[in-house]
């Protein structure tokens, strides 16, 4: 896997297979949670996998509220977690 | 783009693909719009075309010959310009227009950027499918617990399995293909917990005998599960998940005839991944604001009410597939074809087919519908499922509203439906707008009646910037 097929998560490069969503790439790397809830600070990540539950929210290139399970990964994307998901 | 279009089809799953293909063959000009990266919907979910070799998923599918035939028909019409296929487009609302319908979508092909698109046509067919129905249990919000459909979408769309040891639970035949796919990709499926009793099927011999293809499909999954030594435990449910930061232990229990956990039958199973599904809920977000009438789907949910030509109660508006009640891909394909014949007839298209093929498709719809009804009756929600909730079990995941809060809304404030519970507790008021907790909250306060989702004016969040741009600069696919 070359860095040509990687995006960053909180600054760290994460490789992906072209065609995967951000969530699929995160899951492939062993992560199933990447944010916390507003009230109970509970860990959350992938749940419904099809854009319905909004548990997997991330910020992509500065835009918050993106469902990681729907956004196709592209090389060079900057994904940040745990912010921008509580509006 | 400014050619005139006859039909907009929202949803490129089995129903939408079949409908578009039939309508195109009949001479109509069609826009087929879908949020996914490839046609197929959830059942035939595929990675984008460019990734078919790096992410091979063909071995996970059933009925691919139909899919490939539909893809090839659609491609041929795309080449002649009669079909506009819009992938990665999220439809966020639909409205009546002077001469038909306006379908508002966001092109997210370069997400997170988005661009507003408006599609207009005299006829609109909504084939937006369904999503997993969830019943909460203690620990269901732990990471590593997913919907059964979520596991399937990660497999079929991204070629990934989220863990090594998986327990599946809930009810319905969908659990079997998910288990088979997970096992085929190297996961250890420790148990499949099916709440229903296998004898429930024996009460519907006619529906089974008239659908031999379903037998064959079931036998294929049973063979795969036997080969991988996957135990299927009937009359059993997942009643809890435990772990620090991720699920580590799943608690299962045998159920009595009402679905109450039987004392002394609880087992603790080590697992890092859980998949749960209790059937499906029709995705009606685009139909409700148009005033589409609903009917009891027979499985505890309301679905779009349609006539035997898949016409809804709104003139010019058609529905096919799971939006009309959950029944599987074969039914969806037949309904899509029937709907397209109705559109051809209602628009007086010269290429509408004669009477023989449409009649055969209608018979297929009736046969598959009978099977779906039998399936719903054989796989009901266990009436006593709330027995496995504790007062601190979160029911609404977004707003973190507990079962105790929902129960006191019913007891102390006489809340009689999920809308009143929402006002009292905020359950259903968060990001997902009650799509996850709605059916469960409904069961907790209004058991007996089928679940009808709340009307949501916006089916998917859109940015104000993109909305502001959607005035004159909008690319208008009229």
DSSP letter string, B203-232: G-HHHHHT-HHHHHHHHHHHHHHHHTT--E
Q: Is residue B337 a contact partner of residue B66, using CB atoms and an 8 Å limit?
A: no
Say yes or no for a CB contact (<8 Å) between A50 and B146. Answer: no
The Cα A31–Cα B163 span in angstroms is 10
Instruction: Identify the residue with better confidence: B419 or B23.
Output: B23
Residue B124 CA to residue B103 CA, distance in Å, equals 9
Nearest by CB to residue A24, choosing from B42, B131, B157, is: B157
Give residue B352's pLDDT. 77
pTM over 0.90: yes
Structure tokens at B130: 């369904």
Nearest Cα residue to B141 out of B399, B417, B416, B461: B399
Residue ranges of domains in chain A: 3-78
Please name the residues between 4 and 33 in chain A that touch chain B, using a CB distance below 8 Å: 17-21, 23-25, 27-28, 32-33
H-helix or E-strand containing B95? Answer: strand B89-97
Q: Quick one: closest CA in B to A69, which residue?
A: B154
Would you place residue B354 in the very low, low, confident or very high pLDDT band (cuts 50, 70, 90)? confident
**Residues on chain A touching B42 (C-beta within 8 angstroms):** 50
Segment holding B356, helix H or strand E = helix B356-378
User: Which residues of chain A are within 8 Å of residue B163 when distances are taken between CB atoms?
Assistant: 32
**Residue of chain A nearest B113, judged by CA positions:** A63
Give φ, ψ of B418 to 5 degrees: -70, -25
- Tell me, yes or no, if A49 comes closer than 8 A to chain B by beta carbon: yes
Q: Which residues of B touch A60 (CB under 8 A)?
A: 111-112
* Per-residue pLDDT at B472: 46
Examine the pLDDT at B263 and tell me if it is beyond 50: yes
Confidence of residue B471 (pLDDT cuts 50, 70, 90): low
CA distance B142 to B372: 32
Over pLDDT 90: what percentage of chain B? 80
Q: What is the rounded average pLDDT of the residues B343-372?
A: 90
B195-210 per-position pLDDT tens digit = 999 777 777 778 777 8
| Residue of chain A minimizing CA distance to B114 | A63
B1 has pLDDT over 70: no
Residues 6+ apart with CB under 8 A from B250: B167, B169, B238, B240, B241, B242, B268, B269, B270, B271, B274
Lowest mean pLDDT among A73-87, B42-56, B127-141, B377-391: A73-87
Is A56 near chain B, with CB under 8 Å? no
pLDDT: which is higher, B456 or A22 = A22
Nearest Cα to B174, choosing from B196, B159, B157? B196
| Nearest Cβ partner for B150 among A18, A44, A49 | A49
Q: Are B420 and B409 in contact (CB under 8 A)?
A: yes
Residue B332 has pLDDT above 50, yes or no: yes
**H or E, element range at B364:** helix B356-378
* Architecture in CATH for domain A3-78: Roll (3.10)
Do B410 and B424 contact (CB within 8 A), yes or no? no
pLDDT tens digits for B380-408? 999 999 999 999 999 999 999 999 999 99
Q: For position B476, what pLDDT does the model report?
A: 54
Contacts of B145 in chain A (CB under 8 A): 47
- At residue A83 the predicted structure's pLDDT band, cuts being 50, 70 and 90, is low
Residues contacting residue B354 through CB under 8 Å, at least 6 positions apart: none
Comparing CA positions, the residue from B368, B322, B403 lying closest to residue B130 is B322
What's the pLDDT score for residue B152? 97
* Residue B356 and residue B160 in contact, taking contact as beta carbons nearer than 8 Å: no
Give the H/E segment covering residue B372: helix B356-378
ipTM, 2 dp:
0.95
User: Which three-class secondary structure state does DSSP give residue B200?
Assistant: helix
Strand order in the sheet with A57-60: A12-15, A6-9, A78-80, A57-60, A63-67
Q: Is pLDDT at A18 greater than 80 in this prediction?
A: yes
Nearest to B147 by CA among B452, B354, B469, B435: B435
Helix axis angle, B356-378 to B329-346, nearest 10°: 140
Cis peptide, bond prior to residue B203, ω within 30 of zero: no
* Among B157, B154, B45, CA closest to B166: B154
Helices (H) and strands (E) in chain A, counts: 1, 7
Distance from C-alpha of B6 to C-alpha of B211, rounded to nearest angstrom: 35
**Rounded to whole angstroms, how far apart are CA atoms B342 and B312?**
11
Chain B residues touching residue A27 (CB < 8 angstroms) = 154, 158, 160, 162
| CB pairs < 8 Å spanning A and B | 135
Whether residue B67 has pLDDT greater than 70:
yes
B158: closest chain A residue by CA: A20
pLDDT tens-digit series, residues B430-467: 999 999 999 999 999 986 789 998 888 788 888 777 77
Question: Can you tell me the distance from the alpha carbon of B104 to that of B193, in angstroms, rounded to the nearest whole number?
Answer: 41
C-alpha B57/C-alpha B181 separation (Å) is 10
- Give Cα B377 distance to the centre of its chain: 18
Percent of all residues in chain B with a pLDDT value above 70, rounded to a whole number: 97
- Is residue B357 predicted with pLDDT exceeding 90? no
Mean pLDDT of all residues in B57-72 = 93
């Amino acid at each position: 896997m070359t860095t040509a097929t990687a995006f960053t998560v909180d600054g760290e490069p994460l490789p992906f297979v072209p065609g995967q969503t951000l969530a699929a790439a995160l899951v492939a790397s062993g992560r199933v949670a990447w944010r916390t809830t507003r009230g109970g600070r509970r860990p959350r990540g992938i749940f419904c996998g099809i854009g319905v539950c909004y548990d997997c929210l991330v910020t992509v290139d500065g835009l918050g509220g993106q469902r990681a399970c729907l956004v196709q990964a592209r090389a060079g994307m900057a994904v940040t977690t745990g912010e921008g998901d509580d509006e | 783009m400014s050619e005139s279009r006859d039909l907009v089809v929202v949803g490129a799953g089995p129903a939408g693909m079949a409908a578009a293909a039939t309508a195109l063959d009949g001479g109509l000009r069609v826009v087929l719009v879908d949020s996914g990266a490839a046609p197929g919907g959830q059942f035939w979910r595929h990675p984008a075309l460019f990734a078919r070799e790096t992410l091979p998923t063909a071995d996970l599918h059933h009925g691919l010959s139909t899919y490939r035939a539909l893809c090839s028909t659609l491609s041929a019409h795309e080449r002649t310009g009669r079909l506009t296929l819009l992938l990665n487009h999220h439809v966020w609302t639909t409205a009546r227009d002077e001469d038909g319908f306006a379908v508002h979508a966001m092109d997210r092909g370069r997400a997170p950027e988005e661009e507003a698109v408006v599609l207009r046509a005299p006829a609109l067919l909504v084939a937006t499918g369904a999503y997993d129905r969830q019943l909460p249990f203690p620990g269901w919000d732990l990471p590593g617990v997913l919907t059964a459909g979520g596991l399937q979408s990660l497999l079929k769309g991204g070629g990934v399995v989220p863990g090594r040891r998986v327990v599946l639970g809930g009810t319905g035949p969908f659990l079997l293909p998910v288990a088979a796919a997970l096992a085929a990709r190297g996961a250890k499926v420790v148990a499949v917990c099916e709440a229903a009793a296998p004898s429930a099927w024996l009460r519907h011999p006619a529906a089974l005998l008239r659908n031999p293809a379903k037998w064959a499909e079931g036998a294929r999954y049973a063979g795969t599960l036997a080969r991988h030594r996957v135990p299927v435990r009937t009359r059993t449910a997942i009643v809890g998940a435990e772990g620090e930061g991720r699920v580590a232990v799943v608690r299962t229990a045998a159920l009595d005839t009402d679905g109450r956990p039987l004392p002394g039958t609880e087992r603790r199973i080590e697992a890092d991944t859980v998949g749960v599904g209790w059937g499906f809920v029709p995705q009606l977000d685009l139909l409700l604001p148009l005033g589409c009438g609903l009917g009891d789907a027979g499985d505890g949910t309301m679905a779009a009410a349609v006539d035997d030509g898949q016409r809804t109660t709104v003139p010019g508006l058609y529905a096919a597939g799971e939006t009309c009640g959950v029944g599987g891909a074969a039914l969806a394909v037949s309904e899509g074809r029937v709907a397209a014949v109705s559109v051809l007839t209602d628009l007086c298209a010269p290429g509408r087919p004669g009477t023989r093929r449409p009649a055969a498709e209608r018979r297929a719809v009736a046969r598959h519908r009978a099977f779906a009804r039998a399936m719903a009756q054989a796989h009901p929600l266990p009436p006593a499922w709330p027995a496995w909730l504790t007062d601190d079990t979160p029911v609404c995941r977004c707003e973190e509203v507990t079962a105790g809060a929902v129960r006191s809304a019913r007891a102390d404030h006489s809340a009689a439906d999920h809308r009143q519970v929402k006002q009292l507790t905020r359950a259903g008021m968060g990001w997902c707008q009650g799509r996850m907790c709605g059916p469960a909250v409904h069961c907790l306060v209004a058991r007996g009646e089928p679940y009808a989702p709340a009307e949501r004016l916006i089916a998917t969040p859109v940015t104000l910037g993109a909305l502001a741009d959607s005035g004159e600069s909008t690319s208008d696919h009229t």
